[in-house]
Structure 1
Amino acid sequence: MIPFYENRVGDLLIFREDGLDFLPHLHAQLELLYVEEGEIEITVNGCTHLMKRGGLCVLFPNSVHSYHTPPQERMNCIIVILNLALVGDFINTLLKFHPKNPFINRENLHKDVPYAIDTLCEEYTHVGNQPVCTPICKAYIQIIISRLLQQVELVTNTDVNYFDIIFDIINYINENYMQPISLNDMSRALGVGKYHLSRVFSDKMNVSFSDYINGIRVSWARNMLLNTNKNITQIAYDCGFQSIRTFNRAFSKVYFVSPRDFRKSQEAASIYPKK
């Protein structure tokens, strides 16, 4: 998946994901991640937790969050992303507060929530490739939010100004990652001090500038390795890397394998699928 500041069209998005790696990002919707199998490392506003089977992470609007599936880990999850138009009377709570601890382990999660999420996933349908949110979906959403708000301690939002800065950072990088860019370049383009930007990365996004931009480039490179016939050198330069050596090092840091070996393993998997 490609990290970005998500401005989604449509009120509801539900999908199952087999393995998940997503750099720090934020969006204006409520997001829920429910782990069906395995475990996943989730970071929310700088706090990291290893979420295991049966656990749920609740992400209020404008929470900076990222996902990482441990190497060799088989992980399946359901992700629900919904517009605040669907939350009814809960909207003020979701905008003014955030959970002190957004991670709810299996043993602490109300039994209504997994059932409602599974039923919501089944009810969610597509007509002409357009997501449809039925009245039943809306009803289950209300049940889920109501139960979750009973289980989390809420604290008042205090870092509202950071949300706009993070949006500008992520938007700038996604528009310019294919060319050489530095913290100085971004500082001049956004009119924000370089050291202030650096603190936003370290304190709010929990990642360095170089690791974030390389992560963006690697995400796009992975997508091109899977879906195009371009050679690896061309992919590296198309994604903004200045040398094959840098590309190989950045890709291996994220996926623990070289781009060439990654492509070979995916080609082999398509020829000899797992039974």
Structure 2
Amino acid sequence: MVAFYENKDKDLFIHYGNSLDFAPHLHNHIELIYMLEGETVTNVDGNKALLKKGEIFVSFPNQVHQYSSKGPEKYLIFIFSPDLFKEMKHIFQNYIPDNQVIKNAYKYPCLYSFLSSAAEVYESNHEFKDLQIKGYLLVFFAELLKIMKLKSIKTSNLSMLQNILVYCSENYAKDLSLDTISESLHVSKYYVSHLLKKKINIGFSDYINALRISEACGHLLSEDKSITEIAYLVGFNTIRTFNRAFIKQTELTPTDFRKKNLYGIKIQNKEF
């Protein structure tokens, strides 16, 4: 799995899920999970921690984070913009959690009560639902911050990493190279390579190929284009390079990937 940059177009998303297994990703939103059953391995900016039943995971804006499932799970997830909470925006901008997993959350039943109430209102259609959800989340964070340790962030590396990931996400279908990024972003290509390896543990070429393969999967499952057309469309110069990169990421050939989907076997490129 590889990291990708997400531009969230919704200010708030709430969902009960049962498969917490997502690639490393980065966005400007806060991501919050209450684990109801099972466990999963979380990784934030290279720091791994096990998230178990009754525990809370929190990722602040622009932290690279991922999940690796360890079996059947049930969880409640919130993804929301810090702009919704001007009262605490300075906290989300200037600090990050010292530990992404709050181990003793189960000792405070009110925390889940606030979250479950917000999730219930989220599914309703009444006139003041947004205001009510905001109220539940405000009191939730007021209580959570009493038990969660924070530390000041160094914004320079995060800002540059975000710029690099955004640039890659917008230009991966072109003839993209470290030299191109270096010239466009006015930063050393060696620093770009170092930052990607340090923060998301992947080389530049593998990262660009993964973005291209993710795009190719969408075309394979939704269109009638030939595999060769798709390969060139997403930025590969040869079909051989495309096939090799596709197998490396999905463990399937493009043809098998398409066939398995047509026969109803669940092959998903998960987005978060």
Q: Same fold (TM over 0.5)?
A: yes
Please identify runs of 4+ aligned residues in structure 1 that moved more than 6 A: none
Residues 44 and 64 in structure 1, CA contact (< 8 A), matched pair in contact too: yes
Partner SS state of residue 99, structure 2: coil
Q: How do 1:27-42 and structure 2 match up within 5 A?
A: 27=28, 29-36=29-36, 38-42=38-42
Stretch moving more, 37-46 or 181-190: 37-46
How many pairs does the alignment contain? 263
User: 2:204: which partner in 1?
Assistant: 209
CA drift of 1:88 comes to 4.6
Distance 1:256 1:112, change over 3 A: farther
The one-letter code matched in structure 1 to 2:192 is L
User: 1:223: which partner in 2?
Assistant: 218
Residues 43 and 66 in structure 1, CA contact (< 8 A), matched pair in contact too: yes
Give the whole-Å Cα distance in 2 for the aligned partners of 1:235 and 1:39.
Answer: 37
Partner SS state of residue 88, structure 2: helix
User: 1:26: which partner in 2?
Assistant: 27
Distance 1:106 1:134, change over 3 A: same
Give the whole-Å Cα distance in 1 for the aligned partners of 2:239 and 2:52.
Answer: 37
CA drift of 1:193 comes to 0.5
Give the whole-Å Cα distance in 2 for the aligned partners of 1:231 and 1:67.
Answer: 33
The one-letter code matched in structure 1 to 2:140 is I
Does residue 140 (structure 1) correspond to residue 136 (structure 2)? The answer is: yes
User: 2:152: which partner in 1?
Assistant: 156
Give the whole-Å Cα distance in 2 for the aligned partners of 1:54 and 1:247.
Answer: 43
Residues 20 and 67 in structure 2, CA contact (< 8 A), matched pair in contact too: no
Give the whole-Å Cα distance in 2 for the aligned partners of 1:256 and 1:22.
Answer: 16
Does residue 81 (structure 1) correspond to residue 79 (structure 2)? The answer is: yes
What RMSD in Å do the two structures reach over aligned CA positions? 3.1
TM norm structure 2:
0.80
Aligned residue among 184, 191, 205 for 2:186: 191
Deviations 1:240-266 (A, max 9, x none): 123333333333333333333332222
Identical residues among aligned pairs (%): 33
Structure 1, gaps ≥5 residues long: none
Distance 1:250 1:117, change over 3 A: farther
Structure 2, gaps ≥5 residues long: 267-272
